[in-house]
Amino acid sequence: MRAPANGIELEYETLGDPADPPLLLVAGFGCQLNWWNPDFLQGFVDRGFYVIIFDNRDVGLSTKIATEIDLEAAIVGYLQGESIEAPYQLPDMAADAWGLCDALGLDRVNLMGASMGGMIVQQMAIDCPERVASLTSVMSTTGDPDVGQPTDECVAALLEPAESDRDANLAAGLRIGQLYAGPVYFDDDWILERNARQFDRCFHPEGATAQLIGIVTSPPRSEALRGIDVPALVIHGDIDPLVTLSGGERTAECLRGSEFLVLENMGHDVPRHYWATIIEHVTALAARANA
């Protein structure tokens, strides 16, 4: 399904009963709506949520953003400390997501975002706190340059050119997925399946590059987060190499009264081992917020 949102169109799917409390899940950098494991989503439906997932702009089947910017040159310039232009930033993507909520007639929403998705839901809460029933930020950060920075190995992985050959793409995706997930809770079968689903649905690496530029050029959110009061949960893995733990610590520090859940041996992924824990904490947060 497609919906108009903020001047573009977003591809989305829903699960569950529209009469139940809505839970909007926002995926991370370069990830399509099918990044989420169906069994994980069903867990939220089983706990009484109406689940909405969607493709952010520039990935999957949502609108691709035309730009005159040389995206690869912009990334090189950023790494050299130059001021660079972005085709869009995180506030634009937050406005997209609120536009989808408007199209679906959702006035007040439970928000959950992973990685870049966590950044987007933080911005959504900054922009429209009165519409946030609850906020869950997973393996994300505030944009402050002194926290949450990736390891050198992860920076190199981020900057690898995407393989256009399917087999080579899946092989590279498995290697990078193992790096991000860490040595304990990586799931090779799911990483391969997830990457195959995304490659076969839409291969558009330029969109991921544009999203990365949007992330690194967006202003930090820490001060604005300190100024809002929404029921919040921050979840982070203690061995996350892509958005290191200090990013989650800063997020929890900025969100007044938030719960901070640190998951042992979790890297930059949402492993099956912790699905029940995450679903339980999100459900409990929403119940407290709506009590």
pLDDT tier at 241, thresholds 50, 70, 90: very high
Residue 16 has pLDDT above 90, yes or no: yes
Higher-pLDDT residue of 261 and 75 is 261
Structure-token pair, residue 71: 């995206």
Q: Tell me the mean pLDDT in the region 186-197.
A: 98
Instruction: Judge whether residue 196 has pLDDT over 90.
Output: yes
pLDDT in tens, 89-146: 999 999 999 999 999 999 999 999 999 999 999 999 999 999 999 999 999 999 999 9
By 3-state DSSP, what share of the chain in percent is helix, strand and coil, each rounded to 5? 45, 15, 40
Mean pLDDT of 166-183: 98
pLDDT at 291 over 80: no
Does residue 177 sit in helix, strand or coil?
helix
- Residue 65 tokens read as 């953003």
Residue range 2-154+205-289, CATH number: 3.40.50.1820
What is the rounded average pLDDT of the residues 13-19?
98
pLDDT of residue 46: 98
What is the pLDDT confidence band of residue 30, given thresholds at 50, 70 and 90?
Answer: very high
Q: What is the pLDDT of residue 71?
A: 87
The per-residue pLDDT for range 205-214, each reduced to its tens digit, is: 999 999 999 9
**Full DSSP string of 102-162:** HHTT-SSEEEEEETHHHHHHHHHHHH-GGGEEEEEEES---S-TTSSPPPHHHHHHHTSPP
CA distance 50 to 19: 7
Please report, rounded to a whole number, the percentage of residues in the chain having pLDDT higher than 70: 100
When pLDDT is cut at 50, 70 and 90, the band that residue 72 belongs to is confident
pLDDT level of residue 32 (50, 70, 90 thresholds) = very high
Single-letter residue type at 101: C
Q: How far apart are CA 24 and CA 182, in angstroms?
A: 27
Per DSSP, the residues of 191-207 read HHHHHHHHHHH---HHH
Q: Please enumerate in sequence order all residues whose Cβ is within 8 A of that of 269, keeping only pairs 6 or more positions apart, or say none.
A: 139, 177, 180, 181, 182, 185, 186, 237
Contact 222, 145 (CB under 8 A): no
CB 205 within 8 A of CB 143: no
For residues 105-116, one letter each, b for 16 or more C-beta atoms within 10 angstroms of the residue's C-beta and e for the rest, the string is: ebeebbbbbbbb
| Average pLDDT, integer, range 210-219 | 96
